[in-house]
């Protein structure tokens, strides 16, 4: 029997979170081994209601106001969950494969999600982008960016917009994290509704564009290294495909693609995904510190920031 897969799906009633629910239903409905916990975190009670300064009458009014606020929030939560249930049912997900969790907010929202995941209960956290512009996210932060920054051991999926294609791009390279990416994709997406999975390898240029243009000998120097690196990449792609097929994914649905002489990995990944209608992308972190990722950027950060109408899975 296949090991159960557990997904934590955050919802807040926004269009972004509804699309995240729709995406999970479209990918995993019909797989009896996938279980989805749908989490809604209640808004915190406004400080006004917890800081009485007047007489007993004022205290009672504030207590009544706090109770009314909580009641409205819980009613809203029930409505959000009802809509999520309807979406999942439309995709054919069985009632026993998802459940609803409503919890009060104690700390910042990103930490609430990660607190629910504490102990390694979930194989992935899925959240929808809330409509904040990329520039606003960069300078002000967001639940999405904070979850990505704080998550250390769990795969995070960020859903941006409406996802219609059933094609997945899995980006791998020669880093130690590559094996984990392949294993995660093979296991998580076995018996999924993806119709095509492309294993994508970007072979970057050894020299800068300016150096290649100015020095005719550069290509001769690079050629033997590139030949060896190409061979290594092809072996890695072939082994990755075997892993996918070994998990029960149809061999015909698994493709491989080797991109050569690219200088911008994120740009190459996004261009291929857009050209081939791959609305889902799985990538990994490259082992740099979270601080360096924030200051210098990384392939995963660039893809998260630039991908539109895509679901991006980031493997830690």
Measured CA to CA in angstroms, residue 229 lies from 64, 213, 242, 285 at distances of: 69, 22, 20, 21
pLDDT digits (tens, 9 = 90+) for 175-193: 888 899 999 999 999 999 9
Q: What is the pLDDT of residue 38?
A: 96
Question: From the centroid of its chain, how far is CA 107?
Answer: 22
* pLDDT tier at 217, thresholds 50, 70, 90: low
- Which pTM does this prediction carry? 0.86
Q: Give every CB contact of residue 227 below 8 A, 6+ residues apart in sequence.
A: none
Q: Give the tens place of pLDDT for each residue, 270-308.
A: 999 999 999 999 999 764 444 444 433 488 888 988 999
E-strand ranges in the chain read: 5-10, 34-42, 98-104, 124-128, 155-160, 167-172, 196-204, 254-262, 280-284, 310-315
Contact 184, 241 (CB under 8 A): no
pLDDT of residue 240: 97
Interacting residues of 276 by C-beta distance below 8 A, sequence separation 6+: 167, 169, 198
In the chain, the domains with their CATH numbers are 1-162 (3.40.50.620), 164-316 (3.40.50.620)
Instruction: Give the pLDDT band (50/70/90) at residue 203.
Output: confident
Angle made by CA atoms 63, 112, 78, in degrees to the nearest 5: 60
Nearest-10 crossing angle of helices 299-306, 143-150:
160
């Amino acid at each position: 029997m296949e090991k159960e897969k557990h997904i934590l799906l955050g919802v807040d009633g926004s269009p972004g979170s509804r699309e995240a629910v729709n995406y999970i239903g479209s990918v995993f409905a019909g797989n009896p081994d996938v279980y989805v916990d749908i989490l809604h975190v209640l808004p915190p009670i406004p400080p006004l209601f917890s800081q009485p300064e007047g007489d007993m009458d004022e205290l009672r009014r504030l207590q009544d106001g706090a109770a009314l606020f909580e009641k409205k929030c819980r009613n809203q939560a029930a409505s959000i969950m009802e809509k999520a249930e309807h979406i999942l049912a439309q995709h054919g997900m069985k009632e026993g494969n998802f459940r609803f969790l409503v919890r009060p907010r104690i700390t910042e929202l990103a930490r609430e999600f990660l607190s629910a995941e504490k102990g390694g209960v979930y194989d992935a956290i899925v959240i929808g982008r809330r409509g904040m512009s990329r520039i606003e996210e960069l300078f002000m932060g967001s639940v999405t960016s904070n979850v990505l920054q704080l998550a250390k051991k769990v795969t995070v999926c960020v859903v941006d917009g409406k996802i219609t294609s059933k094609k997945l791009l899995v980006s791998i390279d020669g880093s130690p994290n590559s094996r984990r990416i392949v294993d995660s994709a093979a296991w998580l997406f076995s018996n999924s509704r993806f119709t095509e999975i492309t294993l994508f390898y970007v072979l970057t240029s050894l020299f800068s564009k300016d150096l290649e243009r100015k020095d005719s000998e550069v290509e001769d120097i690079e050629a033997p290294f590139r030949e060896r690196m190409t061979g290594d990449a092809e072996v890695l792609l072939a082994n990755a495909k075997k892993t996918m097929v070994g998990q029960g994914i149809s061999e015909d649905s698994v493709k491989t693609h080797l991109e050569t002489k690219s200088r911008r990995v994120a740009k190459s990944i996004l261009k291929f995904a857009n050209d081939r209608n791959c609305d889902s992308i799985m990538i990994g972190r490259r082992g740099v510190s979270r601080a360096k990722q924030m200051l210098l950027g990384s392939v995963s950060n660039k893809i998260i920031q630039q991908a539109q109408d895509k679901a991006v899975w980031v493997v830690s």
